[in-house]
Amino acid sequence: MAAPFRHASFYRFVPLPDPEAVAEQLRAWGLRGLTGNITVAAEGLSAAVAAPTDVLAAFEAALVSGFDLAFAGLHFKRNDCERLPFTLLKVHVKPEIVAFGVEGVSGLQDGASTHVSPQQWRALLDDPDTVVIDNRNSFEWKLGRFRGAIDPGVAHFRDFPAYVEAHREAWAGKTVAMYCTGGIRCEKTAAWMQAQGLKVAQLDGGILNFFELMPDAAADWEGECYVFDKRIAIDPTRQQPTGTTAEDVFTDPADHWRLARARRLDP
């Protein structure tokens, strides 16, 4: 029997001259049953939403056909859910869809393509001239990671640039292969890292895309993947719930606020 709900995550860096108007239009659609979080900024849109499958399909169709086709061809990373992972729909307008912390850096910056497919990513994991960097927070790396991946030890995404600066010389001549949950953090950092003289490869679509396209993803992934909703974690087969709780994830006292935030997701 098919699962009653479906989750989709997606983003696109695209100029949006009036993000407030985009947000208002999204709210005005009023699709009953759609839940999740959508962030809109002048640099684009990022979202994680869930709904009954027919409602989600209607939302996706409206998004890709609206807004002067700014989101045509958008890549939705989907997986089925037995229960809704969100309670409400929230549409936010922010200065950035993901905050990097370096002035002037935008996901709209030009740079040579750094995307690699899941199949190419697997080959990079076996390449001795590759440094594999987890572009997420430390608590996420501890829960699960690609084999051989380094934890930069950052508590916030804005700490990542300092880590790169400190290791740039040591990485000279190597490929810096980085990944994150859905790809958006890597998208924001790739052109900036290229400008630092680094050879960069980013996993296209992130961990979620790897899980979706690689049936044997567990051969390269150790543990579980944290997701920012009621499911808490998924495994490489995208099954949930895994039994992992927020209390299992946030064991560091410094993460007490993250634990409180996760608890607020229920019921």
pLDDT in tens, 197-213: 999 999 999 999 999 99
pLDDT class for 104, splitting at 50, 70, 90?
Answer: confident
Query: The domain at 5-93 falls in which architecture?
Result: 2-Layer Sandwich (3.30)
Q: Would you say residue 240 has pLDDT above 80? A: no
pLDDT class for 43, splitting at 50, 70, 90?
Answer: very high
Q: Residue 266's pLDDT is what?
A: 63
* Tokens coding 177: 């292969």
Reported for 34-37, long-range contacts at CB under 8 A and 24+ positions apart, including other chains, are 34/59, 34/89, 35/84, 35/85, 35/86, 35/87, 35/88, 35/89, 36/7, 36/85, 36/86, 36/89, 36/90, 36/229, 37/86, 37/89, 37/90, 37/92
Mean pLDDT of the chain: 93
Domains 5-93 and 115-264 share a fold: no
Give catalytic residues, as residue numbers: 180
Q: Residue 42's pLDDT is what?
A: 95
Query: The domain at 115-264 falls in which architecture?
Result: 3-Layer(aba) Sandwich (3.40)
pLDDT in tens, 44-59: 999 999 999 999 999 9
- Indicate the pTM of the whole model: 0.93
Q: Residue 178's pLDDT is what?
A: 98
Domain-wise residue ranges, the chain: 5-93, 115-264
